[in-house]
Amino acid sequence: MLECGKTLKNLEITYETYGHLNSNASNAILICHALSGNHHAAGFYKDENERPGWWDALIGPNKAIDTDKYFVVCPNNIGGCHGSTGPSSINPETQKIYGPDFPIITVKDWVNSQSLLADHLKIKCWHAVIGGSLGGMQALEWARLFPNRITKSVVIAAAPKLSAQNIAFNEVARQAIITDPDYQEGKYLDFDKSLLMTKLLDYYDPAESFDGNLVKAFETITAKVMVISFSSDWRFSPQRSREIVNALLAAKKETSYLEIESSHGHDSFLFAEERYVNALSAFLGN
């Protein structure tokens, strides 16, 4: 059952794994991708001439997320276009492609579907859940929604909710697509056109059910939380990360915070800057 009240039947989740799960399944790490990401987080499919996974700089042997130590899982979230159930899937009720009729998905829906994947993999508790940007929001939701199934949460370049400016930017992007002659009322797949998924970001607000009180929203958290921000990130500035940190501290949660000097803007979380790598590696290892 989705948060919007609809149900997805025959749910499929595409995912990749790296490393090996130990005997008691205590070394598993979940990687949550951002809006434009997918399940291919590290390595190459065939040879080094192909594009590596989107977080290859941080995932692999002797890297920040060391696949010699950890069993790393990265799913493609539902509602996207990379193999998991989404608008390009067949609606079992109509036997036609969902297209624009695919139901609205939320961060909570993503986390709930990831919990089903954990069940499938027989992982009772993640050693850590890690994500950048929208992935960081998922890591935070995991700590809130499933406190007994996560030991550590790493929230990178994220925010507790979108600012009015960010929502406006998303709406500008949507309007650019909707007014395009190739929009076809959202029926892209009938005309070999692209897809769209930005409102999920707009809707994220864990404090909404608590009268805007972020501290109360974090009361269920038992995991250790590391929050990381980057100096040049204007999308989710360090100030937004500090909102998360301050609420966690007020809720008396075990929290650490690191602000990294970087010139790469919001995409800084994709680059293996030394201080960033060392901090992440140490947090996972402690």
237 belongs to the catalytic site: no
Neighbour tally for 175: CB within 10 Å: 10
Strand 255-260 with 128-132, pairing: unpaired
Give me the catalytic one of 113, 241, 266, 268. Answer: 266
- Interatomic CA distance for residues 248 and 215, integer angstroms: 6
Give me the catalytic one of 84, 109, 233, 237. Answer: 233
127 belongs to the catalytic site: no
* Rg over CA atoms, the chain: 19
Beta strand residue intervals within 39-180, DSSP E = 59-60, 65-66, 71-75, 90-91, 96-97, 128-132, 152-156
Q: Which helix (H) or strand (E) holds 113?
A: helix 107-120
Give me the catalytic one of 84, 89, 113, 133. Answer: 133
Q: Which residues are paired to 91 by β-bridges?
A: 96
Indicate the DSSP class of residue 150: B
88 belongs to the catalytic site: no
Q: Annotated catalytic sites, by residue? A: 133, 233, 266
